[in-house]
Structure 1
Amino acid sequence: MTAAAPPLALYVHWPFCVSKCPYCDFNSHVRETVDQARWRDALLTDLAQEASLLPGRRLGSIFFGGGTPSLMPPDTVAAVIDAAAAAWPFEDGIEITLEANPSSVEAARFADIAAAGVNRVSLGLQALDEEALRFLGRAHGVDEGLAALETAQHAFARVSFDLIYARPGQSLAEWEAELRRALGFGTEHLSLYQLTIEPGTRFATLAAKGQLTIPDGDTAADLFEATRAITAAAGLPAYEISNHAKPGAESRHNLTYWRYGDYAGVGPGAHGRRQGLATLRHKKPENWLAALDRNGHGIEREDALALEERGVEALLMGLRLGEGVDLERIAQLAGGVAPVDAGAMDRLVRRGLAARQGARLRITEAGMPVLEAILRELVI
């Protein structure tokens, strides 16, 4: 008797934003108008394609990302959730997350979005400082954002929010005070990201002109270590390099990515992993719609992943987690041998940057600040 396949995850991409933030390299677009009926039907058609290719699975999570999915009409959110329920039986306690901007306009929709079936919201606060919010190009102010957070905590069973730190000129003391204030709001989950300069963004243009400088490596490491210490002391330890949660409140959807499970991705630019295939939807909204009209789905590419590629992907994703990876599973995914440099692994363990217990390999607290360098050394 074969074991049941693990739960599937579903990602739904809504590509539209009111404006483009200067740090953002996500697939987001500003449009004067959106044909809501057409977009609802298009998402349902794209979802139906994935459902036809993944029969017999149970669904463990749905994640509405963007873009700004809190701009979606609640009846579109409900229609997608209903279609997913018709396609796959839901796991008990399925997690259904929607990313939201903390504006008063969008907060006014929270009750209707919750009634549509969303039970977890991820709120893009990004900073608790007015000057920082203006620098980051955010449309909301601190008071408006915190009012939206309070509304979300009343509307949804589970609430997370994002903050960006390691901003230009931000001192360790300033970040520690901001983080402690954030922890005081009592959410079960925080996503805390260091500001990075991504190619193609407005910040990248400013950095190239010498008009924007982010903290150096030593300062960034100090900020990172303080973040982990403060959140752990508050009962929200890091379970992934940038994500912190009360035990049991981790993002189940994102754990599917990091544990290298199958996930279906629908909507413009959405990625998926379907039984050894890497799927990619057309990125530009108009091209995605045209593909749906032409083909009945928005897929641009489906690439069969070689076994070694699957092992490498699973290793790179899994070592972001505090729990690490099972090397025997990695070896199975890779076709027999885990793509790990054994000598490098032994050196990292001796230096206290990694730990090995049986088949499980994880990065230590000392290693997490230099994870990227570790991965370059370890993964073959």
Structure 2
Amino acid sequence: MTTNSLLSIPGLQTPKLKALPPLSLYIHIPWCLKKCPYCDFNSHEIRSPSGKIPEEAYVTALVRDLESALSDVWGRRLSSIFFGGGTPSLLSAGAIDTILTAVRTLLPVEHFAEITLEANPGTFEAQKFADFRQAGINRLSIGIQSFNAKHLQALGRVHDDQHAHQAVKIAQANFDNINLDLMYALPGQTLKEAQQDIETACAQAVNHISAYHLTIEPNTLFHRFPPQLPDDEHAAAMQDMIEQVTAHHQYRNYETSAFARPGKESRHNVNYWLFGDYLGIGAGAHSKISFADSIVRRMRYKQPREYLAKSQANASTIQTQQILTPADRSFEFMMNALRLTGGFDTSLFSERTGLPISAIQHQLNEAEERGLLVHDRVRIKPTILGKRFLNDLLHIFLPENNSPGDALQSSIPT
């Protein structure tokens, strides 16, 4: 049975959810000091004569955005909040406090909810980050990318290696839950240099490390002027080395690019991977919201000026909306959950999609025959081979009427 044939199964035209999944809040801050040449996120270099962002107007728009979305999530409790970007640490601590106060006023928030702020070296000031903690931020994610000055320059970063170390020092003085973002397979990077980066990150003894393979994305400067990157063989060797080094330092590789100390996995990101719900507010933010009889994806207007103009005119800030078909639900669940090293409970597929596991039995059997995953009545998880060839594994579950690129692009939140 193909994924498209889900539509012909009696009773699956409008599959019902017995319970709603956990809910997270994503808040997008779209400005950066400088647009990096590899970045395809919805981020915009600050170009105002003052060099400042329209903070007050944007915070007002975010609160209005949240208020307008309340009817979709009324009474639901937030398990995590994530300020992403862009560079959210460009905001003042006062702005963060105003936003979080509004969130807590409008929605119930779990007592020990994870509240993450992304921050880039070059925006670090000791008092400012102490104030972020006071405002309610309890997890910091730092965009280090590399501790090597040469590679930071090649990546177009505004900080150098000294800024990177100083950022970690300031963060550790104020936060006990920290993630460091690194990238590997960088222009001109050797295996030894990649190892120095990951060893340096592990030596900081933070709770969480993310290590992403640099890829050339459309609509980036690197796509127009491609740098010389390590070949696939060297990149794979770097990935193997990173997994070995992090394991030696007691980090568990719980997701394709994520490594955590026991119990310190990113709760916000795990909710994504397990097809949980997230409300996204801010320019270009994506949402996935479940209802009893539908699952809806929405995207806000991407350009900050347009987003602000819509908000100030009391018009809807939602630019696009998609109601997921049964085939979409099936693929998107698998696309996300198979990123987790430990896989997922078999029963979760039905709980989050409203579909019986038999709806993808043919694809599960094919993936197992090819040695890409293992499954039984209790658990489904990728094999080592499946982790290495994740795109091939996901392709098995891809709806026939979509291209892999289109499906992946439309399903991954910013």
TM-score between both structures, scaled by the size of structure 2: 0.85
- Mapped to 1, the partners of 2:239 and 2:100 lie a distance apart of 37
Aligned residues of 2:180 and 2:201 also touching (Cα < 8 A) = no
Matched residue, 1:65: 84
- Mapped to 2, the partners of 1:101 and 1:16 lie a distance apart of 12
Matched residue, 1:131: 150
SS in 2 for 1:248: coil
Matched residue, 1:25: 40
- Mapped to 1, the partners of 2:260 and 2:96 lie a distance apart of 26
SS in 2 for 1:181: helix
Aligned residues of 1:340 and 1:379 also touching (Cα < 8 A) = no
Shift of 1:366: 3.1
Aligned residues of 2:57 and 2:308 also touching (Cα < 8 A) = no
Aligned residues of 1:97 and 1:118 also touching (Cα < 8 A) = yes
Question: Residues 123-148 of structure 1: CA distance to partner in whole angstroms, max 9, x if unpaired?
Answer: 01110101001001111111121111
Q: 1:201 aligns with which of 197, 214, 220?
A: 220
- Mapped to 2, the partners of 1:73 and 1:339 lie a distance apart of 49
In the alignment, structure 1 residue 221 sits paired with structure 2 residue 240: no
331 and 308 in structure 1: CA distance in 2 versus 1, 3 angstrom threshold: farther
Q: 1:149 aligns with which of 168, 179, 182?
A: 168
In the alignment, structure 1 residue 93 sits paired with structure 2 residue 112: yes
In the alignment, structure 1 residue 263 sits paired with structure 2 residue 278: yes
In the alignment, structure 1 residue 49 sits paired with structure 2 residue 64: no
184 and 243 in structure 1: CA distance in 2 versus 1, 3 angstrom threshold: same
Runs of 4+ in 1 over 4 A off after TM superposition: 2-6, 104-108
In the alignment, structure 1 residue 179 sits paired with structure 2 residue 179: no
Structure 1 residues 161-310: aligned runs within 5 Å = 161-207=180-226, 212-275=227-290, 276-310=295-329
Shift of 1:12: 0.3
Query: What letter corresponds to residue 264 of structure 2 in structure 1?
Result: A
Question: Residues 36-61 of structure 1: CA distance to partner in whole angstroms, max 9, x if unpaired?
Answer: 22111111111111223211111111
In the alignment, structure 1 residue 316 sits paired with structure 2 residue 335: yes
Matched residue, 2:132: 113
Out of 174-183 and 37-46, give the one that drifted further. Answer: 174-183
* Gapped regions of structure 1 (runs ≥ 5): none
Question: Residues 192-231 of structure 1: CA distance to partner in whole angstroms, max 9, x if unpaired?
Answer: 0011001111111112xxxx22222222222112211221
RMSD (CA atoms): 2.0
Out of 190-199 and 330-339, give the one that drifted further. Answer: 330-339
Matched residue, 2:141: 122
- Mapped to 2, the partners of 1:145 and 1:94 lie a distance apart of 28
Query: What letter corresponds to residue 231 of structure 2 in structure 1?
Result: D
SS in 1 for 2:384: coil
Aligned residues of 1:21 and 1:137 also touching (Cα < 8 A) = yes
Q: How many residues align?
A: 374
Q: Which has the higher contact order (CA 8 A, sep 6+)?
A: 2
Q: 1:74 aligns with which of 86, 93, 97?
A: 93
Percent same amino acid among aligned pairs? 38
- Mapped to 1, the partners of 2:112 and 2:325 lie a distance apart of 34
- Mapped to 1, the partners of 2:370 and 2:242 lie a distance apart of 23
- Mapped to 2, the partners of 1:302 and 1:107 lie a distance apart of 41
107 and 268 in structure 1: CA distance in 2 versus 1, 3 angstrom threshold: farther
- Mapped to 2, the partners of 1:185 and 1:253 lie a distance apart of 23
Query: What letter corresponds to residue 23 of structure 2 in structure 1?
Result: L
SS in 1 for 2:188: coil
In the alignment, structure 1 residue 340 sits paired with structure 2 residue 360: yes
Question: Residues 288-338 of structure 1: CA distance to partner in whole angstroms, max 9, x if unpaired?
Answer: 112213344421122211122112111100000112134443245153355
Shift of 1:340: 3.5
SS in 1 for 2:102: helix
Aligned residues of 2:272 and 2:336 also touching (Cα < 8 A) = yes
SS in 2 for 1:80: helix
Query: What letter corresponds to residue 349 of structure 1 in structure 2?
Result: E
SS in 1 for 2:32: coil
Aligned residues of 2:334 and 2:397 also touching (Cα < 8 A) = no
Question: Residues 143-165 of structure 1: CA distance to partner in whole angstroms, max 9, x if unpaired?
Answer: 12111111101111311111110
Aligned residues of 1:5 and 1:57 also touching (Cα < 8 A) = no
Aligned residues of 1:128 and 1:178 also touching (Cα < 8 A) = yes
Aligned residues of 1:324 and 1:363 also touching (Cα < 8 A) = yes
Q: 2:374 aligns with which of 346, 350, 355?
A: 355
SS in 2 for 1:213: coil
Shift of 1:282: 0.2
Out of 65-74 and 105-114, give the one that drifted further. Answer: 105-114
- Mapped to 2, the partners of 1:107 and 1:355 lie a distance apart of 48
Query: What letter corresponds to residue 355 of structure 2 in structure 1?
Result: G
- Mapped to 1, the partners of 2:67 and 2:355 lie a distance apart of 32
- Mapped to 2, the partners of 1:8 and 1:282 lie a distance apart of 22
SS in 2 for 1:83: helix
310 and 345 in structure 1: CA distance in 2 versus 1, 3 angstrom threshold: closer
- Mapped to 2, the partners of 1:348 and 1:288 lie a distance apart of 43
Matched residue, 1:365: 384
